């Protein structure tokens, strides 16, 4: 039964109440750490950590490079909650399970969500190590019906037909780009469109050309469901993609993308993502 398939408001509320009974932090900002970007929590002070497996009702993370815990604390003087290890659709979680942590953060009271990911560059001008401030997305799974908001709509989360033309807040994009330029990152900061594929396969050449033809600059396997659910709840979003590899869009190339290279690029460039996020949070 499609209508009963997910979690209801009460289940999300129970997780929220559990967490609020265990921590005094009252976060206004949520941060989602992407592949290889778990180091984002480094600058968080007075950390209080909750392993996903210790939170009743929470799903479990299965991917290497994703630690699997919620981290509460203070970043740049603001109370935050970080999701270290996210849930991907390709892990077999339904769209509702993938986005459950976002709803939990929403009920915890966040007004802003910073979401990061590792992505492949389809834009020819992009290099490994570039950081793209997301301006829009194409969600192939969500377009095709694997969408986190199908089924009964609970108005306590948000409206039945939420608009999606302003999900990546333009003032947030501007602020992140300014911060990057001021920090001397102008040679590798970008602004572009993120295309989500369900994965776990990397894309065929034709699929990448499709993404590029639609105006996509980077491709990945996350972020879109979380941003949809956050936006549904009225949470403003900033998205940052770390370009971990160049997509192979020619048939005569013998190169192949692999997860190790994605994690390695993440480790090398994560300090810049960390810096941008830390300063961004400070300026909110």
| Residues carrying an active site annotation | 35, 66, 88, 90-91, 118, 221-222, 245, 259
Q: Do 95 and 113 contact (CB within 8 A), yes or no?
A: no
Determine, following the binding rule CB under 6 A, whether residue 129 of this chain makes contact with ligand 6GU.
Answer: no
C-alpha 7: how far from chain center: 20
Provide the 8-state DSSP code for 111: S
- C-alpha separations of 267 from 22, 86, 228, 272 in Å: 31, 17, 27, 10
- Shortest gap between Cβ of 66 and ligand 6GU (angstroms)? 13
In degrees and rounded to multiples of 5, residue 213 shows phi and psi of -65, -30
Residue in the structure block whose two tokens are 């109370």: 79
Question: Would you say 44 or 224 has its CB closer to ligand 6GU?
Answer: 224
Q: Do 208 and 233 contact (CB within 8 A), yes or no?
A: no
The span from the CA of 62 to the CA of 196, in Å, is 19
Determine, following the binding rule CB under 6 A, whether residue 280 of this chain makes contact with ligand 6GU.
Answer: no
Q: Which residue minimizes CB distance to ligand 6GU? A: 120
Question: Would you say 4 or 260 has its CB closer to ligand 6GU?
Answer: 260
Question: Contacting ligand 6GU (CB under 6 A), which of 91, 130, 136, 203?
Answer: 203
- Strands 218-220 and 112-121 come out as antiparallel
What dihedral angle (degrees, nearest 10) is formed by the CA atoms of 23, 26, 32, 36?
-50
Question: Would you say 7 or 66 has its CB closer to ligand 6GU?
Answer: 66
Question: Contacting ligand 6GU (CB under 6 A), which of 202, 224, 225, 280?
Answer: 202
Q: Which of these, 283, 242, 246, lies nearest to 75 by C-alpha position?
A: 283
Question: Contacting ligand 6GU (CB under 6 A), which of 146, 147, 257, 268?
Answer: 257
Question: Contacting ligand 6GU (CB under 6 A), which of 192, 220, 225, 239?
Answer: 220
- State the binding string over 161-200 for ligand 6GU (x if CB under 6 A, else -): ------------------------------------x-x-
User: Which residues lie near ligand 6GU (CB under 6 A)?
Assistant: 118-120, 197, 199, 202-203, 219-221, 244-245, 247, 257, 262
């Amino acid at each position: 039964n499609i209508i009963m398939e997910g979690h209801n408001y009460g289940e999300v509320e129970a997780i929220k109440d559990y967490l609020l009974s265990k921590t005094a932090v009252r976060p206004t900002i949520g941060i989602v750490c992407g592949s290889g970007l778990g180091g984002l929590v480094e600058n968080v002070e007075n950390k209080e950590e909750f392993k996903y497996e210790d939170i009743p009702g929470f799903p479990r993370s299965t991917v290497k490079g994703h630690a699997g815990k919620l981290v509460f604390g203070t970043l740049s003087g603001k109370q935050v909650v970080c999701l270290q290890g996210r849930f991907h659709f390709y892990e077999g979680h339904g769209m509702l399970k993938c986005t459950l942590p976002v709803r939990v953060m929403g009920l915890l009271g966040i007004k802003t969500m910073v979401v990061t990911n590792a992505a492949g560059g389809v834009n020819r001008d992009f290099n490994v190590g570039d950081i793209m401030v997301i301006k829009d997305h194409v969600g192939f799974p969500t377009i095709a019906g694997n969408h986190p908001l199908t089924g009964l709509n609970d108005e306590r989360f948000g409206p039945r037909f939420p608009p999606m033309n302003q999900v990546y807040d333009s003032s947030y994009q501007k602020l992140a780009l300014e911060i990057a330029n001021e920090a001397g990152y102008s040679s590798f900061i970008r602004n572009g469109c993120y295309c989500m594929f369900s994965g776990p396969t990397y894309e065929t050449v034709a699929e990448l050309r499709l993404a590029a033809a639609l105006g996509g600059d980077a491709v990945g396997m996350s972020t879109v469901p979380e941003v949809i659910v956050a936006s549904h709840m009225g949470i403003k979003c900033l998205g940052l993609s770390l370009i971990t590899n160049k997509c192979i869009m020619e048939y005569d190339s013998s190169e192949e993308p692999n997860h190790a290279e994605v994690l390695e690029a993440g480790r090398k460039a994560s300090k810049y993502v960390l810096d941008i996020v830390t300063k961004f949070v400070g300026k909110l």
